[in-house]
Amino acid sequence: MAIKYTYVGHATHLLDVNGTKIVIDPFFGDNPSTDMSADAVEADYILLTHGHYDHVADAVAIAKRTGATVVSNFEISNWLGQQGVPEEQLHAQHIGGGFNHSFGYVKFTIAHHGSGLPDGSDGGNPAGLLITTDSKKLYFAGDTGLFYSMKLIGEEGLDFAVLPIGDNFTMGPDDALRAVKLLTPKVVVPSHYNTWPPIAQDAEAWKSRVEAETDTKVVVLKPGESLDV
Ligand code: NI
Ligand code: MN
């Protein structure tokens, strides 16, 4: 019944769902936004939205150390296998497909972005993650531009959403505000900003705009901060 969310920084997230530890898009060692070490991360599951370095950087190391199940698209799953992650830890899914994992149902949703892996391998298509636990529905948009079918995702009834606001590589603040209007989550956390100069944003200003124009509550977290979903 209890879900704790922690914003590691950039686009790396931790979830504790009823005691199950989940890492989304592990980027620790080279992440300017966190001092947290990949060596200290607890993981039962690693979820990956796409193949870019700032999302998979520490996935292989954490998977090998913890034995966590890695949930990703099929192409990234194959690549993880080539990097030596044992087959029994790999769980491949793809867009539109959901699966009942031990902590909840994870459905891969569309995202408009790239997904090339760090060594140039094909990382398939990028995705977002819609997670349904015994009590809540959570949406992690991943790296994406605005798309109108966010409205369909919103129709599922979101308790919590994480959206990129950094601009340049993903939605910026204006489109992220439009995304909130399509998704209508109860709570939204901004991510993928302030890591590097091209994605510098004023999250407090975005919070003011969103809360003036929608019923969604914006929680701006500093790297390392948590909230109870
Ligand atoms: Ni990316
Ligand atoms: Mn990214």
- Kindly report the CATH class assigned to 3-220: alpha beta
pLDDT of 35-74, one tens digit each?
999 999 999 999 999 999 999 999 999 999 999 999 999 9
**Residues 6 or more apart whose Cβ sits within 8 Å of residue 13:** 5, 6, 7, 23, 24, 25, 140, 162, 191
Q: What is the pLDDT of residue 60?
A: 98
Ligand nearest to the CA of 11: 2
Q: What is the pLDDT of residue 33?
A: 96
Q: What is the pLDDT of residue 85?
A: 98
User: Where are the chain's structural domains?
Assistant: 3-220
**Residues 6 or more apart whose Cβ sits within 8 Å of residue 19:** none
pLDDT tier at 209 (50, 70, 90 boundaries)? very high
Distance 151 CA to ligand 2 centre (A): 23
pLDDT score of 1 more than 90: no
Q: What is the pLDDT of residue 73?
A: 98
Distance 180 CA to ligand 2 centre (A): 19
Q: What is the pLDDT of residue 26?
A: 98
pLDDT tier at 34 (50, 70, 90 boundaries)? very high
Identify whether the C-beta of residue 55 lies closer than 8 Å to the C-beta of residue 148.
no
Distance 1 CA to ligand 2 centre (A): 30
Q: What is the pLDDT of residue 207?
A: 98
pLDDT of 157-181, one tens digit each?
999 999 999 999 999 999 999 999 9
Identify whether the C-beta of residue 217 lies closer than 8 Å to the C-beta of residue 188.
yes
pLDDT tier at 147 (50, 70, 90 boundaries)? very high
Distance 66 CA to ligand 1 centre (A): 25
Distance 83 CA to ligand 1 centre (A): 20
Ligand nearest to the CA of 192: 2
Q: What is the mean pLDDT of the chain?
A: 98
Nearest to residue 214, comparing CAs of 175, 180, 176, 171?
Answer: 180
Q: What is the pLDDT of residue 122?
A: 98
Q: What is the pLDDT of residue 14?
A: 98
pLDDT of 81-108, one tens digit each?
999 999 999 999 999 999 999 999 999 9
